[in-house]
A and B are shown apart, each in its own frame.
Chain A
């Protein structure tokens, strides 16, 4: 009897504490995903992570970054559909922190930055990664990081030159992978950061890198950054290297987005491999007019009239008119009528126009400036030799011609608003008061508003409104 009792007792007692061996039962890991410790082990893993940065970036430069900028300007007409509410707020230059389209783009531009910064944590832990590969990856990462910060500071802050020393607030600089909230850096600091990253990229990127960033891509991006800063002297040497290399000749086609004919101009592009892998979705879905009589975005009468004024301007081919000669008439765009295309981020037309303008601003090498602008004009007004400007034209004439042609070339490609802000910041009395669709170039609403979740006790939001 006693033995029986004792047995039961000890069985129960052991079972009570036998479960203590189950501590390992608490180490449960999710299935169907990879844990961070096993995700990045080989050089191939790092290359995949780098590739995902381009992937994420391509999905923002599919027309989103470009059109959010253009909506605030004078080339796109006001969206007239109710359900485009958030886009209408951008058009009105009155975005508030609830605008999830604007806030969404902001967050998504920092995603490639986080991934690049994560790579920094792992370079020394990867076995089999050669120094050359490491340097190349790092350089590509810095190119990506610089591009993101450049467009973030251009869209969400007042432009470079808004204050004399650029101590006005910019965007947070993310140079490390951390989960801590940050305050906004000054615009001067952000541009310094962008320039420094691009200089590293230029020094360390290979000359050829397939469809990924190469030395020329970094050089041309830096040139455009300097141009935005109105630092023409710094921009010129880079522009000359790219354009004079002969690797990217001007295409005879006026349609920059027709990959078949215009691809020679692409210094850097985002790749679409088919209609299932279309990295131009926002351009196409918003503007395409051959299969949709009422696209989301139409072009403004302003830009239409500018181009239609001269009947020899071949760029009229990019416009269509719906409900002609009625009060409900509107103009549609034909530039993006395709199932898919690769999106050029930096192209020769843009660089040539930039060089011509920089030279004209500086009053240097005006002969080259004339050649540059005439090359564009020749292509745009086929058969009309009167449009070319004289070889001895003065700087101001060249400048005004370049500016006019730039608008007629690059409309709806995301260039216009940043371009006008740059001129406004230069404050050249000859240019007069710069307005962007009747709003002064530095009104508060021309800087998009940050999403509400960015706001913490250390983060100052933008002022809103004041543009209409």
Chain B
């Protein structure tokens, strides 16, 4: 009010006197104009923003000197005295590398980094831009300490497995909570099971070009505000909004190739026949073991792989203004993978707008729509490349004599039409009302609406019918919405004491409906023609599934002299998933931080430019379990069998009124330091997280009358260290910055109640929960060596004595399922208009269990083998890696075929050149002529080199999983899993 009055007075007075101007141009260290910098004229308390050329102008009534202050986020403020007149002053502002001034997104709010007391790591849009990934979480890999990201295999649209500070769940979901613009999004990896050896990726339809920043909350102080869902960490995704005044139009486009990082070395026909014959004769067979026409030598791997071509285009239009700003993004992504017939195409649109209805009431809207079409193929154990690595033999011809494709998985893939389409709408509307200087209120409603359609069409040539073909559609709709209301209070009691408080209420509900349509005698799938025209049409609708959360939470903060910060959060969460005796849970957390660099004893040291100590202790929970496990249930009367012509009914689930969330109490201690004006910074953290009431899907003793039951039984401890360093080695015309991060997590199961290690249902390939070992430890019979006399494998029994017999009671925990340490190192260079950077990620220690090699290199059967088999025993006296070839499993000491032993467990240590980027930005002189703001071209390569002793395809494994327990318990198991993808990309970024 006062400002307006003053302005009017000035205006009138300036009209009445001789008008003077103060003019200037704000530029950065490279003499580039700084747009949107705030310039404040002290005398009149006027503030303006610099325009597209970095210019500003003030009109003053009198001549003389005036003080102006220039400020801009990310830069140090500058105060200069300028004389009114015609001179245009150049004001150069320096980048403020003091990292404490960054803005960080915390749960339900934002803070300056100096005020943050919890453990939060952040990645920005620029870093996402330079690492083109199919699914955005892949870009987090090797950048944030404590965040382990294992990218899904090269299958198009596949997702990564993300683990924050180890795994603290066994049967409940162990993935972090993903929050996009305030709504925990639908995160079900098993909406379509593991058909075709791929799980659903709920993050695939989120467009990476929409993302402004990703903040990862790691400790209890940060995650307790998410209550019963935060214990595995929280990943907060904030989408872009128009934040600069004026119109900004930009375009990003790229073209890439996709190839596998490695291909398997399978035997050719001559080798296969020879080795089969050897096995046959070893067993006493005479004559010819296997028939080969002497000519056929099919390279099935070549027939199932290709070089994929990808392209991506993104157009962004943003208009920023004082009261109204809007940003629109349109993207198109076409992603072929290196598997024949496989691609993921995504089209997405976003509109984010902010409007100040009144100066105190602001509305923000985020809407997005995404359409992802995944052309699916069978792979791994289901077919495709996996079949080329297993059941497809080189002696089999791929073609019939008439030239058509012979009956094989290759033919299957060429005929079957399988497409999964996802339509996703994520929307939110926020109203923010500034009641007065101390109070503000916020109300927000969001929804994540997903329609998933999985269409499979099998033509008659594929299924050998007289009718045209069979079509199947699996449709799933998930309607996930939430609503919350928040009241904020902040008061500066005096300059030394500031107090903030927040109280809020949130409700979230999600409903999943699904159905299956099936029809014969169709010429195309339901995605081509959704009509159902004939009598064979059947539709099965499944019962709806629904869950809900109701929460109340509060956060209190106190800042002392802007250098000591204290915070406490408490959340009360209720969920429909819990038993009636445990409907609500309470999750408190306390944290504090001390900005040491504000203290005189640190300031006096001089070389320390920033320093902060922080600590926290708190409770968070995990509620990621299937619905309705707490209720006792009888079979649906419509699907009970009859006996003796009479109806039946029977119980199918035991009631568990005590089913509740998992609880984690975490302690965190962190130290952030910066030296020499933050030229060198490091951050060090120690954490200890104790989880109890860990949910296990128990294979209970069957004499109970049931086989499965969910119960809170286990206890797990995760503890570890995280370190990250950033160093600006050279900072002149040539700039060189190194970023390094490394972390180590120790995971141990401390209790599983009265149950034994076989009790947990869901882990495959002999991984178990064993007290004293990490989750998913490999539980195998130990293999010692190949006996040089007989060529048979020698095992160790439970006491360590050598034996030829394989017995499952001799299994012990072996190997290390989790790595000793992991991390990444990035080196970035820039010189004039060129920039170059490369990122290595590494994993030290940890084993990989190559489960498919037990069939590729074990008893000779209808599987092909890899060339590793050449090192096998052939005659007495041989020292060999693999035993004598045989067709009879009893030669290897067991009547159970394909036994699990440590022969297939290998060290998975690796270092990989994850990303190389070489970029060139057109100089300003040229861009000015073209009337555009910036133009950059870059060449990017991902996963170019891998250094490892592991002999399988790829030491980075994220295979398909059957359920959540499998996903937690089989992190190091591979079974014909396709390798990762190696890409070369050419990218253009243009800002108009």
Contact = CB atoms under 8 A, between A and B. Distances in A.
Interface of A: 5, 8-9, 12-13, 15-17, 19-20, 22-23, 25-37, 39-40, 45, 47-49, 51-52, 54-56, 58, 82, 85, 88-89, 92, 94, 96-98, 103, 106-108, 110-111, 113-115, 117-118, 171-172, 174, 177-182, 210-212, 271, 273, 277, 451-459, 464
A184 to B, nearest CB: 9
A19 B485 contact: yes
A212 B485 CA distance: 62
A271 B441 contact: no
Contacts of A210: 644
Nearest to B654: A179
B586 to A, nearest CB: 16
B637 A55 contact: no
B647 A51 contact: yes
A354 to B, nearest CB: 27
Interface SS of A by simple majority: helix
A29 B631 contact: yes
Contacts of B809: 96-97, 464
B505 A17 contact: yes
A181 B700 contact: yes
A172 B703 CA distance: 7
A405 B633 CA distance: 50
Contacts of A49: 648-650
A55 B583 CA distance: 37
Given A12-B487, A20-B505, A55-B641, A458 B754 contact: yes
Contacts, number: 223
A110 B704 contact: yes
Interface string B627-664: 11001111111001111111111111011000000000
B897 interface: yes
Contact of B703 (A115, A212, A452, A454): A454
Given A34-B637, A459-B701, A22 B433 contact: no
Nearest to B635: A33
A28 B627 contact: yes
Contact of A52 (B435, B543, B643, B808): B643
A114 B643 contact: no
Contact of B550 (A25, A97, A464): A25
Contacts of A20: 505, 550, 552
A210 to B, nearest CB: 8
A451 B702 CA distance: 8
A110 B485 contact: no
A106 B637 CA distance: 26
A51 B701 contact: no
A51 B703 contact: no
Nearest to A114: B705
A117 to B, nearest CB: 8
B627 A454 contact: no
Q: 9 closest A-B pairs (Cβ-Cβ)?
A: A114-B705, A107-B702, A32-B543, A52-B648, A36-B632, A55-B643, A31-B543, A39-B634, A453-B699
Contacts of A271: 643-644
Contacts of B651: 36, 39, 114-115, 118
A457 B754 contact: yes
Contacts of B506: 19
B758 interface: yes
A26 to B, nearest CB: 5
B709 interface: yes
A54 B642 CA distance: 10
A397 B251 CA distance: 102
Given A48-B647, A172-B703, 13 more contacts: A22-B507, A25-B509, A26-B576, A33-B652, A34-B633, A34-B637, A36-B634, A39-B651, A51-B644, A114-B651, A174-B704, A178-B704, A453-B700
B702 A110 contact: yes
B505 A19 contact: yes
A26 B702 contact: no
Nearest to A16: B485
A209 B818 CA distance: 62
Contact of A182 (B486, B545, B703): B703
Contacts of B645: 273
Contact of A26 (B439, B548, B895): B548
Contacts of A115: 650-651, 705
A456 B648 contact: no
B756 A12 contact: no
Nearest to A105: B702
15 contacts: A8-B433, A9-B433, A19-B550, A30-B627, A32-B636, A35-B631, A35-B632, A35-B634, A54-B644, A85-B895, A88-B895, A108-B702, A174-B704, A179-B706, A457-B756
Nearest to A38: B634
A89 B895 contact: yes
A16 B808 contact: no
Contacts of A182: 701, 703
Given A28-B576, A39-B634, A118-B651, A113 B705 contact: yes
Contact of A456 (B633, B643, B709, B754): B754
Interface in B735-768: 754-756, 758-759, 761
A211 B644 contact: yes
Contact of B634 (A33, A55, A58): A33
B706 A455 contact: no
B703 A16 contact: no
A365 B647 CA distance: 47
Interface in B547-597: 547-550, 552, 574-576, 583
A221 B627 CA distance: 44
A213 B491 CA distance: 80
B443 interface: yes
Q: Which of B487, B705, B896 has the most CB of A within 10 A?
A: B705
Contacts of A273: 644-645
Q: Which of B441, B542, B633, B644 has the most CB of A within 10 A?
A: B644
A81 to B, nearest CB: 12
Contact of A48 (B548, B632, B648, B703): B648
A115 B704 CA distance: 10
A451 to B, nearest CB: 6
Interface string B501-543: 0011111010000000000000000000000000000000011
Contacts of B332: none
Interface in B912-946: none
A92 B507 CA distance: 60
A26 B550 contact: yes
A239 B807 CA distance: 46
B546 interface: yes
Interface in B422-449: 433, 435-436, 439, 441, 443
A58 B583 CA distance: 41
A97 B636 contact: no
A34 B574 contact: no
B544 interface: yes
Contacts of B486: 16
Nearest to A56: B650
A43 to B, nearest CB: 13
B435 A5 contact: yes
B483 interface: yes
Nearest to A115: B650
Interface in B646-689: 646-652, 654-655
Q: Which of B435, B506, B704 has the most CB of A within 10 A?
A: B704
A111 B646 CA distance: 19
B707 interface: yes
